[in-house]
Amino acid sequence: MSPTAPPFDTRHAPPPRPPKPLALPRRRLSSAGARDPFEPSVASAATRRQITALMAATRSPFPDDSARRDRAAELERSLLQLETQLAERERALHDWQVWLEEQQRELAESEALQFAHEKLLRAERAALRHSPPSAAATPAESAALAALKTALDRQETSLEEARATIKEREAFLDESETTLFAKVQAQQEREIELDQRAEDLAERERRLLARESASPSPAVPIALRAPIDAARTPVPSPLRVAAPARVFDEFNE
């Protein structure tokens, strides 16, 4: 045998290698795509800035008005509660997003495995068609192939159902988010309207107080002053009746 001869006999093909198991490595979520659910997003920061601006605009400029201070405190508590609900909703949405990414990764792996099984099945069928009649598949091999095809069909059906379920959940999440933002906007508009009414009432009250303080004696209409003057005039008591005048009698005197 020459030094350049191959290590095996070229008249016969080398033994086939055992097939490797079809399995995809689990992909880890990228650190750029995953974020801390407690980290505030851009939308949450913008919402907090709007809430802070609204609370600053609705603070009463008169520290002695206790009713208005109570109203502002109540409004601030409601806005803080709304901010907490928004943060919880954002964390829930992030959890749903992570779950959906995991489901998509598993679906991609299942589809790759299914594609590999189908490719293997097509290759085996092609080999059976081109093989001589004496090399036909045994009944056991036919049964195994039929079982594999049934399992593949069942897996494909489950994949379709999973895709439909994911689409329904995505639509539900979009609808819930839209409804939540609509409610938040409506509540903010309502609070702004109430604050505007309170400011209008305060402005009217300030104008009335300024008008009363500018005039030394408030001008009261005559129609309203007459009842007041009549009420101030003292009324004689009915018990105090004047005694009759005494007649002078010279004989009795």
Task: Flag whether 31 is in a domain.
Answer: no
User: Stretch 147-151: mean pLDDT, rounded?
Assistant: 83
Q: What is the pLDDT of residues 76-127, one digit of tens each?
A: 788 888 888 888 888 899 889 889 988 888 888 888 888 888 888 888 888 7
If pLDDT is split at 50, 70 and 90, which confidence band does 250 have? low
List CB contacts of 24: < 8 A, sequence separation 6 or more: 108, 109, 112, 113
Is residue 196 in some structural domain?
Answer: yes
**What pLDDT is stored for residue 29 in this prediction?**
45
Comparison of pLDDT for 19 and 175, the residue scoring more:
175
Instruction: Work out the burial of residue 93: count CB atoms within 10 Å of its CB; fewer than 13 is exposed, 13-18 middle, 19 or more buried.
Output: middle
Query: In 3-state terms, the chain is what percent helix, strand and coil (to 5)?
Result: 70, 0, 30
Q: Which domain holds residue 147?
A: 42-213
Residue 205 belongs to a domain: yes
In a domain, 73, yes or no: yes
Structural domain contains residue 4:
no
In which band, very low, low, confident or very high, does the pLDDT at 30 lie, cut at 50, 70 and 90?
very low
* Dihedral pair phi/psi, residue 164, rounded to 5°: -65, -40
Which has more pLDDT, 30 or 231? Answer: 231
Q: Is residue 168 in some structural domain?
A: yes
Q: What is the mean pLDDT of the segment spanning 145-171?
A: 86
Tell me the whole-structure pTM to 2 decimals: 0.29
- Identify the residue with better confidence: 113 or 8: 113
The burial of 79, by beta-carbon neighbours within 10 Å (0-12 exposed, 13-18 middle, 19 or more buried), is given as buried
Q: Considering the domain boundaries, does residue 246 fall inside one? A: no
**pLDDT tens digits along 91-100:** 899 889 889 9
Would residue 30 count as lying in a domain? no
Q: How many domains does the chain have?
A: 1
pLDDT of residue 203: 92
What's the confidence (pLDDT) of residue 239?
Answer: 45
